[in-house]
Amino acid sequence: MTLDPVLLSRLQWAWVIAWHILLPAFTVGLASYIAVLEGLYFLTGRDIWFRISGFWTRIFAVSFGMGVVSGIIMPFQFGTNWSRFTDAAADVISPLLSYEGLMAFFLEASFLGVLLFGRRLVPAWAHFFAAAMVAFGTLLSSFWILATNSWMQTPQGYRMVGGRFEPVDWIAIIFNPSFPYRLMHNVNAFYITTAFVVMGVGAWLLRRGRATEDARMMMRMALDLLILLVPLQIFLGDQHGLNTLEHQPAKLAAIEGRYDTVQPTPLTLFGIPDDAAATMRDAIEIPNLGSLILTHSWDGTIKGLKEWPADQRPPVGPPFFGFRIMVGIGVIMLIVVIAGQVLQLRGRLWESVWFLRLCQWTAPLGFLAVIAGWITTEVGRQPWTVYGVLRTADSVSPSLTGANVAWSLVFYIIVYLIMFPTGIAFMASLVRRGPQQAEFEAPLDQIECGLPHEPFESAARAAPQP
Amino acid sequence: MPFDLVPLWTILLGFAVFYYVVFDGFDLGVGMLYSLVRGDTARATVMNSIAPVWDGNETWLIFGGLGLLTAFPLAFAIIIPAVYFPILMMLLALVFRGVAFEFRFKHPALRRIWDGAFCGGSLVATFAQGVVLGSLIQGFKVDGREFSGTSFDWLAPFPLAIGLALVFGYGLLGATWLVFKTEGELQDWARRTATICLLAVLIAIAGVSIWTPLAHPDVARRWFSWPNIALLSPVPIVTALIALGEWEALRRRHELTPFLGAVALFLMSFVGIAISLWPMIVPYHYTLWQAASSASTQAFLLIGTLFLLPIILMYTAWSYWVFRGKARGTGGYR
Greatest Cα pair distance in chain B: 64
B317 touches chain A (CB under 8 A): no
Segment A383-394 shows an average pLDDT of: 91
Chain A nearest-CA distance from B29, in A, is 18
Percent of all residues in chain A with a pLDDT value above 70, rounded to a whole number:
93
Q: What pLDDT, in 10s, does the model give residues A306-352?
A: 888 988 999 998 999 999 999 999 999 999 999 999 998 888 888 88
* Minimum-distance CB partner of A70 among B51, B95, B305: B95
Instruction: Indicate the SS3 state at residue A285.
Output: strand
pTM: predicted TM-score of the whole model, two decimal places: 0.89
Among the listed residues B55, B65, B28, B312, the one whose alpha carbon sits nearest the alpha carbon of residue A68: B55
Q: Which B residues, 89 through 108, put their C-beta within 8 Å of a C-beta on chain A?
A: 91-92, 94-96, 98-99, 102-103, 105-106
With a cut of 70, say whether residue A1 has pLDDT above it: no
Segment A199-206 shows an average pLDDT of: 92
Least confident of A7-21, A430-444, B195-209, B314-328: A430-444
Instruction: Indicate the SS3 state at residue A1.
Output: coil
Instruction: Report how many Cβ contacts below 8 Å link chain A to chain B.
Output: 213
Among the listed residues B270, B307, B299, the one whose alpha carbon sits nearest the alpha carbon of residue B17: B270
Mutate to test the interface with A, among B1, B58, B92, B290 (most CBs of A within 10 A): B92
B contacts of A404 (beta carbons < 8 Å): 84-85, 151
* Whether the complex's predicted ipTM surpasses the cut of 0.90: no
Q: Which B residues, 105 through 144, put their C-beta within 8 Å of a C-beta on chain A?
A: 105-106
Mutate to test the interface with A, among B59, B114, B146, B313 (most CBs of A within 10 A): B59
Please state, in angstroms and rounded to a whole number, the distance separating the CA atoms of residues B167 and B169: 5
With a cut of 70, say whether residue B83 has pLDDT above it: yes
Residue at B178: amino acid letter = L
Based on the number of CB atoms within 10 Å of its own CB, is B1 exposed (0-12), middle (13-18) or buried (19 or more)?
exposed
Phi, psi of B141 (to 5 degrees): -75, 125
What is the model's pLDDT at position B330?
59
What is the model's pLDDT at position A438?
57
Q: What pLDDT, in 10s, does the model give residues A68-93?
A: 888 889 889 998 999 999 999 999 99
Please state, in angstroms and rounded to a whole number, the distance separating the CA atoms of residues A459 and A440: 10
Q: What pLDDT, in 10s, does the model give residues A445-466?
A: 333 333 333 433 333 333 333 3
CB A41 within 8 Å of CB A50 = yes
Contact check, Cβ <8 Å, A399/B146 = yes
Positive or negative, the CA dihedral A413, A418, A419, A422 is: positive
Please state, in angstroms and rounded to a whole number, the distance separating the CA atoms of residues B65 and B308: 17
Segment B192-218 shows an average pLDDT of: 93
Q: Is B6-322 CATH 2.60.40?
A: no
Q: Which A residues, 392 through 421, put their C-beta within 8 Å of a C-beta on chain B?
A: 397-401, 404, 407-408, 411-412, 415, 418-419
Phi, psi of B37 (to 5 degrees): -85, 135
Please state, in angstroms and rounded to a whole number, the distance separating the CA atoms of residues B232 and B298: 31
Contact check, Cβ <8 Å, B301/A415 = no
What is the model's pLDDT at position A181?
94
DSSP B167-180: HHHHHHHHHHHHHH
Whether the upstream peptide bond of residue A123 has omega within 30° of 0, thus cis, is no
Among the listed residues A361, A358, A356, the one whose alpha carbon sits nearest the alpha carbon of residue A207: A356
Q: What pLDDT, in 10s, does the model give residues A81-125?
A: 999 999 999 999 999 999 988 877 777 667 887 788 777 777 888
What is the model's pLDDT at position A407?
93
What is the model's pLDDT at position B15?
93
Chain B nearest-CA distance from A205, in A, is 22
pLDDT band at A439 (very low <50, low <70, confident <90, very high): low
CB B329 within 8 Å of CB B44 = yes
Q: What pLDDT, in 10s, does the model give residues A220-270?
A: 999 999 999 999 999 999 889 888 988 998 998 899 888 888 878 888 888
With a cut of 90, say whether residue B90 has pLDDT above it: yes
What is the model's pLDDT at position A437?
62
Residue of A nearest to B49 (CA): A450
B302 touches chain A (CB under 8 A): no
Q: What pLDDT, in 10s, does the model give residues A325-338?
A: 999 999 999 999 99
B contacts of A411 (beta carbons < 8 Å): 88, 92
DSSP A363-418: TTHHHHHHHHHHHHHHHHTTTEEETTTEEGGGTS-TT--HHHHHHHHHHHHHHHHH
CB B297 within 8 Å of CB B211 = no
Positive or negative, the CA dihedral B319, B325, B329, B330 is: negative
What is the model's pLDDT at position A305?
86
Contact check, Cβ <8 Å, B146/A90 = no
Mutate to test the interface with A, among B47, B78, B80 (most CBs of A within 10 A): B80
| Interacting residues of B240 by C-beta distance below 8 A, sequence separation 6+ | none
* Minimum-distance CB partner of B96 among A78, A97, A415: A415
Chain B nearest-CA distance from A24, in A, is 17
| Interacting residues of A73 by C-beta distance below 8 A, sequence separation 6+ | A16, A20, A412, B91, B95
Among the listed residues A433, A423, A53, the one whose alpha carbon sits nearest the alpha carbon of residue A208: A433
Please state, in angstroms and rounded to a whole number, the distance separating the CA atoms of residues A83 and A142: 24
Please state, in angstroms and rounded to a whole number, the distance separating the CA atoms of residues B41 and B44: 5
Contact check, Cβ <8 Å, B76/A426 = no
A contacts of B92 (beta carbons < 8 Å): 411-412, 415
